[in-house]
Structure 1
Amino acid sequence: MCSNFFGRESTFEEIDQVLGQDGSATTFRSIVLFGFGVIGKSSIAAQYIERNMEEKKYDAVFWVYGETAASLRQSFKDVALRLKLPGAQPNLHNENLQLVQNWFQTTDCKWLVVYDNVEDDNLLEPYWPESSHGTAIITTRSHNLMHKFATSGLEITSWDAKAGSEFLLFLLKDNIGRDIQSERLSAVELAEKLGGHALGISHMAGLIQRRSCTIAEFMRIYLKDPKRLHKSELQAVWDVSFGTLERNSRAFLGVASFLVPDNTAQDLFENRQGHDLPDDLEFFLDDSKFSGAMEPLLALALIKWDKDARIFLCHRMVQMQFRSFLSLEERQQAFDNAVVLVYNAFPKQSDSTNKHQLYHQWTQCNRCLQQVLRLKDNFQEERRHSEKFKASSLFCELLKDCQRYLYEINAFQELEDVCELNLLSVETLDDQEQAIDIKASTMSHQASMYESIGRVEEAIKLNTKGYNMRLEEEPRKGGFIGGFEQNLGYNYNTANQHETALMWFEKSRVTWTAWNEKEGREADWPTVTKKNTARCLVYLGRYEEAQSLLDVSIREFKQDKPLNWAMLAFTYFVQGILERRRNRPEAAEANFMEAQNMWFKGDQTRFHPFNAGCIYKMGVVCLDQGKVETAIKHLRDALEITKFHSDAMPVEHARGLFKLSEALVQKSSTNEGEDDGSEKEVEYLRDEAEKYLLRRDKSATQFGNEDAYDKWVPIFWR
Structure 2
Amino acid sequence: MNSPPVGQSSSVDIAAITQQISLMQLPIKMYTNFFGRESTFEEIDQVISRDGSATAFQSMTLFGLGGIGKSSIAARYIEKKMEENKYDAVFWVYGETAASLRQSFTDVALRLKLPGAQPNLHNENLQLVQNWFRTTDCKWLVVYDNVEDDSLLEPYWPKSSHGTAIITTRNHNLMHKFATSGLEITSWDAKTGSEFLLFLLKDNIGRDIQSERLSAVELAEKLGGHALGISHMAGLIQRKSCTIAEFMRIYLEDPKRLHKSELQAVWDASFGTLERNSRAFLGVASFLVPDNTAQDLFENRQGHDLPDDLEFFLDDSKFSTAMEPLLDLALIKWDKDARIFWCHRMVQIQFRSFLSLEERQQAFDNAVVLVYNAFPKQSDSTNKHQLYHQWTQCNRCLQQVLCLKDNFQEERRHSEKFKASSLFCELLKECQRYLYEINAFQELEDVCELNLLAVETLDDQEQAIDIKASILSHQASMYESIGRVEEAIKLNTKGYNMRLKEEPRKGGLLGGFEQNLGYNYSTANQHETALIWFKKSRVTWTEWNVKEGREADWPTVTKKNTARCLVYLGRYEQAQSLLDVSIREFKQEKPLNWAMLAFAYFVQGILERRRNRSEAAEANFMEAQNMWFKGDQTRFHPFNAGCIYKMGVVCLDQGKVEIAIKHLRDALEITKFHSDAMPVEHARGLFKLSEALVQNLSTNEGEDDGSKKEAEYLRDEAEKYLLRRDKSATQFGNEDAYDKWVPIFWR
Q: Please classify the TM superposition score into its range, dividing by the shorter chain length.
A: over 0.9
Asked whether the 8 Å contact 1:353–1:561 carries over to 2, the reply is no
Change in 2 beyond 3 A, CA 1:88/1:212: same
| More off after superposition, 625-634 vs 522-531 | 522-531
1:4 Cα offset (Å)? 4.7
Query: Secondary structure of the residue that 2:33 maps to in structure 1?
Result: helix
| More off after superposition, 627-636 vs 33-42 | 33-42
* Map of 1:204 onto structure 2: 233
1:180 Cα offset (Å)? 3.3
Asked whether the 8 Å contact 1:693–1:700 carries over to 2, the reply is yes
Asked whether the 8 Å contact 2:57–2:164 carries over to 1, the reply is yes
Work out which of the residue numbers 210, 214, 220 in structure 2 matches 1:185.
214
Q: Alignment identity in percent? A: 93
Deviations 1:605-663 (A, max 9, x none): 11100000000000000000000000000000000100110000000000000000000
1:3 Cα offset (Å)? 7.4
Asked whether the 8 Å contact 2:382–2:508 carries over to 1, the reply is no
Deviations 1:526-563 (A, max 9, x none): 11111111111111101111111101110111111111
Change in 2 beyond 3 A, CA 1:273/1:5: closer
Deviations 1:445-467 (A, max 9, x none): 00000000011011000000000
Asked whether the 8 Å contact 1:158–1:196 carries over to 2, the reply is yes
1:140 Cα offset (Å)? 1.4
Asked whether the 8 Å contact 1:4–1:47 carries over to 2, the reply is no
* Map of 1:348 onto structure 2: 377
| More off after superposition, 342-351 vs 363-372 | 342-351
1:106 Cα offset (Å)? 1.6
Asked whether the 8 Å contact 1:77–1:97 carries over to 2, the reply is yes
Deviations 1:364-405 (A, max 9, x none): 000000000000001111111111111011000000000000
Query: Secondary structure of the residue that 1:157 maps to in structure 2?
Result: coil
Asked whether the 8 Å contact 2:285–2:348 carries over to 1, the reply is yes
Change in 2 beyond 3 A, CA 1:474/1:2: closer
Distance in structure 1 (CA, Å) of the matches to 2:733 and 2:196: 72
Deviations 1:302-342 (A, max 9, x none): 11112332211001111111111111111111111110000
Asked whether the 8 Å contact 2:95–2:101 carries over to 1, the reply is yes
Change in 2 beyond 3 A, CA 1:2/1:535: closer
Asked whether the 8 Å contact 2:648–2:662 carries over to 1, the reply is yes
Distance in structure 2 (CA, Å) of the matches to 1:221 and 1:352: 62
| More off after superposition, 254-263 vs 343-352 | 343-352
Change in 2 beyond 3 A, CA 1:353/1:13: farther
1:674 Cα offset (Å)? 1.5
Asked whether the 8 Å contact 2:560–2:600 carries over to 1, the reply is yes
Distance in structure 2 (CA, Å) of the matches to 1:245 and 1:4: 23
Query: Secondary structure of the residue that 1:3 maps to in structure 2?
Result: coil
Change in 2 beyond 3 A, CA 1:206/1:312: same
1:34 Cα offset (Å)? 1.5
Query: Secondary structure of the residue that 2:182 maps to in structure 1?
Result: strand
Asked whether the 8 Å contact 2:507–2:544 carries over to 1, the reply is yes
Distance in structure 2 (CA, Å) of the matches to 1:55 and 1:534: 65
1:144 Cα offset (Å)? 2.0
1:353 Cα offset (Å)? 8.1
Distance in structure 2 (CA, Å) of the matches to 1:459 and 1:697: 17
Query: Secondary structure of the residue that 1:700 maps to in structure 2?
Result: coil
Asked whether the 8 Å contact 1:273–1:344 carries over to 2, the reply is yes
1:224 Cα offset (Å)? 2.6
Change in 2 beyond 3 A, CA 1:703/1:475: same
Deviations 1:132-177 (A, max 9, x none): 2110001112222222211211112222333212221222233222
1:298 Cα offset (Å)? 1.4
Distance in structure 2 (CA, Å) of the matches to 1:66 and 1:306: 21
1:5 Cα offset (Å)? 4.8
Asked whether the 8 Å contact 1:349–1:357 carries over to 2, the reply is yes
1:181 Cα offset (Å)? 3.6
Structure 1: give runs of 5+ residues left out of the alignment: none
Asked whether the 8 Å contact 2:31–2:75 carries over to 1, the reply is no
Aligned CA-pair RMSD: 1.5
Query: Secondary structure of the residue that 1:118 maps to in structure 2?
Result: coil
Query: Secondary structure of the residue that 1:4 maps to in structure 2?
Result: coil
Query: Secondary structure of the residue that 2:166 maps to in structure 1?
Result: strand
Asked whether the 8 Å contact 2:297–2:371 carries over to 1, the reply is yes
Deviations 1:91-120 (A, max 9, x none): 011111111111111222111100011122
Change in 2 beyond 3 A, CA 1:503/1:352: closer
1:216 Cα offset (Å)? 1.6
1:217 Cα offset (Å)? 1.2
| More off after superposition, 147-156 vs 313-322 | 147-156
Asked whether the 8 Å contact 1:222–1:237 carries over to 2, the reply is no
Distance in structure 2 (CA, Å) of the matches to 1:659 and 1:193: 70
Distance in structure 2 (CA, Å) of the matches to 1:457 and 1:205: 62
1:40 Cα offset (Å)? 2.0
Asked whether the 8 Å contact 1:353–1:562 carries over to 2, the reply is no
1:38 Cα offset (Å)? 2.8
Deviations 1:227-262 (A, max 9, x none): 323332211111111111111111111111110001
1:45 Cα offset (Å)? 0.9
* Map of 2:246 onto structure 1: 217
1:220 Cα offset (Å)? 1.9
1:351 Cα offset (Å)? 6.0
Deviations 1:570-614 (A, max 9, x none): 010000000000000000000000000000001431110000000
1:354 Cα offset (Å)? 8.5
Distance in structure 2 (CA, Å) of the matches to 1:402 and 1:516: 27
Change in 2 beyond 3 A, CA 1:308/1:316: same
1:123 Cα offset (Å)? 1.4
1:352 Cα offset (Å)? 5.4
* Map of 2:3 onto structure 1: none
Query: Secondary structure of the residue that 1:56 maps to in structure 2?
Result: coil
Asked whether the 8 Å contact 1:33–1:139 carries over to 2, the reply is yes
* Map of 1:413 onto structure 2: 442
1:293 Cα offset (Å)? 0.9
Query: Secondary structure of the residue that 1:103 maps to in structure 2?
Result: helix
Aligned residues: 718
TM-score by length of 1: 0.98
Query: Secondary structure of the residue that 1:31 maps to in structure 2?
Result: strand
Work out which of the residue numbers 451, 455, 467 in structure 1 matches 2:480.
451
Work out which of the residue numbers 641, 646, 649 in structure 1 matches 2:670.
641
Query: Secondary structure of the residue that 2:50 maps to in structure 1?
Result: coil
Distance in structure 2 (CA, Å) of the matches to 1:273 and 1:194: 44
Deviations 1:654-695 (A, max 9, x none): 000000000000000011112211111011101110111111
Deviations 1:250-293 (A, max 9, x none): 11111111100011011111111111000011011111111111
Query: Secondary structure of the residue that 1:32 maps to in structure 2?
Result: strand
Work out which of the residue numbers 273, 278, 284 in structure 2 matches 1:244.
273
Query: Secondary structure of the residue that 1:338 maps to in structure 2?
Result: helix
1:2 Cα offset (Å)? 9.8
1:491 Cα offset (Å)? 0.2
Distance in structure 2 (CA, Å) of the matches to 1:2 and 1:610: 45
Distance in structure 2 (CA, Å) of the matches to 1:266 and 1:401: 22
Change in 2 beyond 3 A, CA 1:58/1:564: same
Deviations 1:412-450 (A, max 9, x none): 000000000000000111111111111000000000000
* Map of 1:433 onto structure 2: 462
| More off after superposition, 32-41 vs 520-529 | 32-41
Distance in structure 2 (CA, Å) of the matches to 1:534 and 1:231: 69
Distance in structure 1 (CA, Å) of the matches to 2:261 and 2:568: 68
| More off after superposition, 12-21 vs 365-374 | 12-21
Distance in structure 2 (CA, Å) of the matches to 1:383 and 1:406: 24
Distance in structure 2 (CA, Å) of the matches to 1:114 and 1:480: 47
Asked whether the 8 Å contact 2:383–2:508 carries over to 1, the reply is no
